[in-house]
Each structure stands twice: as structure tokens, then as C-alpha cells.
Amino acid sequence: MIHDELLIEVNRRLEVALYNGDPQSIHALRAVVELHKPIVKNEYYVEMDEEPVFICECDPYDEYDMGYPCETIEAIQEQLK
């Protein structure tokens, strides 16, 4: 699931939560997903016909070598299945 698809799923669940009167938890989940956006690690080399490598915005210097999706996004995706 890509980042945009994950946001769509969270938004869908937010609409259901709003209808049921419990939007707080879904708003919190959406805020976390929005903070963990994919960014291009090798943006300067992409111009040289290399494939872009995505990392999570939570680790912009790729210190922990997480890549994207990071553990947080993977956990959210797993629970939304």
C-alpha cells in the first residue's frame, strides 16, 4: 500500500468514525501517517537515470536505514488489513 492509498483508507475510516461519533482516534492515526511521508533519498542521482530510493521522513538522513515504509507505517498497514 503506498502512502496515498494509506491516507485514503484512513480517511475512509475517519468518515465511519465521524458517523459513529468517535473521530479522535482516527484523527490521531491520520496525523501519524501524514508525519511519515516517503521522501527520495537519492534525489540528486535520479537525474542520472537511477531509480529513486525512498526513505521515511521520520528519518531524513537515513541514520537507521529504515527505508520506506518504516516500521510505524508497516504496523499501521498490518492493522488496517
Percent of the chain with pLDDT over 70: 91
Inform me whether the pLDDT recorded for 45 exceeds 70: no
Report the amino acid identity of residue 7: L
CA distance 76 to 57: 16
CA distance 2 to 54: 11
- Could you give the 3-state DSSP secondary structure of residue 52? coil
Inform me whether the pLDDT recorded for 44 exceeds 80: no
Q: In this predicted structure, what is the pLDDT of residue 33?
A: 93
Inform me whether the pLDDT recorded for 35 exceeds 80: yes
Inform me whether the pLDDT recorded for 46 exceeds 70: no
Inform me whether the pLDDT recorded for 1 exceeds 70: no
